[in-house]
Structure 1
Amino acid sequence: MSNLEAQPAEVECRTDAESATRSGHLHLEVLTARDVPLGGPRAMTVHRTLPQRSRSLIGAWCFVDHYGPDDVASTGGMDVPPHPHTGLQTVSWLFTGEVEHRDTMGNHAMVRPGEINLMTAGHGIAHTEVSTPETTVLHGVQLWTALPADAVDTPRNFAHHRPDDVVLDGVTAKVFLGELLGTRSPVHTFTPLLGAQLDFVPGATVDLDVDPTFEHGILVDAGTIEVADTDAAPLQRTELGYVGVGAQRLTLTNVSDDTARVILLGGTPFGEDIVMWWNFIGRTHDEIVGFREEWMAHSERFGQVRGYDGDIQHLPAPALPHSRLRPRKNTPGRA
């Protein structure tokens, strides 16, 4: 998905690679979303929890958009023209609806509920995302992960996977990246990551043995989720709970009278400084300027998307800020 903001936030992320140590009581940091319209007056609204001022990354996860349930008849759904990416992987994951994906490798794929589509931008790629005519309700998440310095120029790539359900007592898990509950996704990532959907019946609890070298994010899509051994109030819909490195177990309970759904994210702290602006990730302000110039010049770095029927065949990049992008500290928290 493209960031369609006319004035995208200037984000230069800096991480501290120093490990944190586990304390006896979990510290839960609650990140609230800001609403961002994608497009014009009938725009679909997304709830964005990463990046923000208090925290820029969770592991290599650097962008978290949560949207829906969206009535396509009212908003027009998703129609994102050809747009570029560099230095990242996009992770598309739906709860309901269907999205058509096309990219400059010639991939034409459908994003469907319970199936991960992961696109590696690396050196550069362009793609489109359009909800299908059959879609009446669109609901899901769009996630980005930053590529480490030794992989930023990796060739374009695309992966698709449908994980099996892991059924527990009142909880069903789908592990689309990394490893959890004895199951591992075959989808390749360039840093250690975790991505999973957890569905809870009312009152259900799950104990998750997690990697203590990871930071974790708990994004609530539906219901109300209590995280055990913390003093924080239960997490509400669209909130993202952050737990720093050191936790060996996360115990989550749906304390609502309705079903609940969570996206659990995790990863080792990303120990590199990055600059993220619009749809680009680089290492310096000047590198971002170069990416923008190449995109606007229709460079072969990004290629050409074929088969998109929209009026805009090359989404213009926003104007660059008048000042240089500034560093932002992003120190991993402690569990």
Structure 2
Amino acid sequence: MSNLEIAPEETDCTSAPTDGTLLIEARNVPLGGVRGITVNRTLPSRHVPTIGAWCFLDHFGPAPADSMVVLPHPHTALQTVTWPLSGSIHHRDSVGSDVTVRPGELNLMTAGQGVSHSEISLRGPDPLRGLQLWVALPDDALTVVPSFEQHSTLPIVESGNLTATVLAGEFGGVRSPATTFTPLVGAQLSLRPGTSIVDLRRTFEYGLMVLDGAVRVDGRTLPNGSLLYLGLGHDGVELSTATDSRLIMLGGEPFESELIMWWNFIGRSHQDILGARQEWEDHSVRFGVVPGHGSDWIPAPPMPITILKPRRRSKPSRRTDGEDHR
């Protein structure tokens, strides 16, 4: 999934607050495109625009297997990370990739200055369900050559009743082969009944989301589909469950650069976004061509009438906008 909102708002991606925890309830976001679908979005949120360099998290499905038709569209200054949980997706992009995205395989596209791609889910017996994440590129990686990676074998960490699949970065002493540009971690945690202590880095901030089952985090029930933000300074977290459960864990050092997110673009300024949008509308060579679609593409929405500026983060103090501060 990509961000196909018809009227996207600019979103700041400065570092998240570093004190306490925050429960972020998912927002239902209807997307446009050839077929309208709805996703559950937890990043960015009002008080937590980023967790490390992770700046976008959508949980889509379950939906009919062939319900996703996302025509060619652009990205800048980010990496897209697709983690299917069920069903399969046909991915094509402007760097020449033409692959099927399946559960258990990590699919990562690095935009650099600009890339374009399409995503079309395939018919099959299983419903479509998965995660789409974005990772913001730091200043020194903004001009990297666009690329695509598919990793069908990822490192596994076993500890007691916990099995962790390391999607990105390092966890439990093993490192994912996925290319990263900032200190971060992404892992799928599969729990069997019982309690497990997960070691954390004090210099990282973290987010935990339950995908399946029921999990208590440090004795507190985490609602399915919500994202629990953990600030800096944690050595570990206790996870307990009475049934087989599955979570996604994101973490990283707080991202230092101020970012503006609008539609499928990330920039450092209004002019960055305006220029990228215009070049996409002009079919610039900056974004290349996605083979197999002829003249079909997704035009960019109109720019807002105001200047896009990063919103300054605020420290959470009370429950607002579906976010529970504790």
TM-score, shorter chain, exceeding 0.5: yes
Residue 321 of structure 1 corresponds to which residue in structure 2?
A: 304
Equivalent residue for 2:148, pick from 153, 158, 168: 158
Tell me the secondary structure at the aligned position of residue 307 of structure 1: coil
**Residue 273 to residue 227, structure 1, CA distance change in 2 (3 Å):** same
Indicate whether 1:28 and 2:21 are aligned. yes
**Which amino acid is the alignment partner of residue 172 of structure 2?**
L
CA–CA separation in structure 1 for the residues paired with 2:18 and 2:119? 39
Task: Compute the RMSD of aligned alpha carbons.
Answer: 2.2
For these two proteins, the number of residue pairs brought into alignment is 316
Equivalent residue for 1:37, pick from 30, 33, 38: 30
Residue 277 of structure 1 corresponds to which residue in structure 2?
A: 262
Tell me the secondary structure at the aligned position of residue 328 of structure 1: coil
Cα deviation for residue 114 of structure 1 reads 1.2
CA–CA separation in structure 1 for the residues paired with 2:217 and 2:91? 36
Contact residue 269 and residue 332 of structure 1 kept, 8 A: no
Residue 235 of structure 2 corresponds to which residue in structure 1?
A: 248
TM-score, normalised by the number of residues in structure 1: 0.88
CA–CA separation in structure 2 for the residues paired with 1:153 and 1:290? 15
Deviates more, 1:150-159 or 1:78-87: 150-159
Cα deviation for residue 157 of structure 1 reads 1.1
Residue 5 of structure 2 corresponds to which residue in structure 1?
A: 5
Residue 226 of structure 2 corresponds to which residue in structure 1?
A: 239
Indicate whether 1:214 and 2:204 are aligned. yes
Cα deviation for residue 43 of structure 1 reads 3.0
Residue 104 of structure 2 corresponds to which residue in structure 1?
A: 114
CA–CA separation in structure 1 for the residues paired with 2:271 and 2:125? 41
**Which amino acid is the alignment partner of residue 199 of structure 1?**
S
Cα deviation for residue 56 of structure 1 reads 0.5
CA–CA separation in structure 2 for the residues paired with 1:100 and 1:9? 28
Cα deviation for residue 42 of structure 1 reads 6.0
1:131-170, aligned counterparts within 5 Å?
A: 131-134=121-124, 136-161=126-151, 162-170=153-161
Which sections of structure 1, spanning at least 5 residues, go unmatched? Answer: 22-26
Tell me the secondary structure at the aligned position of residue 288 of structure 1: helix
**Residue 331 to residue 265, structure 1, CA distance change in 2 (3 Å):** farther
**Which amino acid is the alignment partner of residue 246 of structure 1?**
G
Indicate whether 1:225 and 2:208 are aligned. no
Cα deviation for residue 44 of structure 1 reads 2.8
- 1:126-178 CA distances to partner (integer Å, 9 max, x unpaired)? 00111112253111100001001111121101112121433333322110111
Indicate whether 1:177 and 2:164 are aligned. no
1:97-108, aligned counterparts within 5 Å?
A: 97-108=87-98
Contact residue 33 and residue 70 of structure 2 kept, 8 A: no
Contact residue 93 and residue 142 of structure 1 kept, 8 A: yes
Equivalent residue for 1:300, pick from 269, 285, 307: 285
Which sections of structure 2, spanning at least 5 residues, go unmatched? Answer: 317-325
**Which amino acid is the alignment partner of residue 298 of structure 2?**
L
Residue 24 of structure 1 corresponds to which residue in structure 2?
A: none
CA–CA separation in structure 2 for the residues paired with 1:299 and 1:42? 26
Tell me the secondary structure at the aligned position of residue 14 of structure 2: strand
Runs of 4+ in structure 1 over 6 Å off = none
**Which amino acid is the alignment partner of residue 323 of structure 1?**
T
**Which amino acid is the alignment partner of residue 275 of structure 1?**
I
Contact residue 87 and residue 152 of structure 1 kept, 8 A: yes
CA–CA separation in structure 2 for the residues paired with 1:12 and 1:67? 23
**Which amino acid is the alignment partner of residue 283 of structure 2?**
H
**Which amino acid is the alignment partner of residue 60 of structure 1?**
A
**Residue 132 to residue 20, structure 1, CA distance change in 2 (3 Å):** closer
Deviates more, 1:320-329 or 1:55-64: 320-329
Contact residue 57 and residue 330 of structure 1 kept, 8 A: no
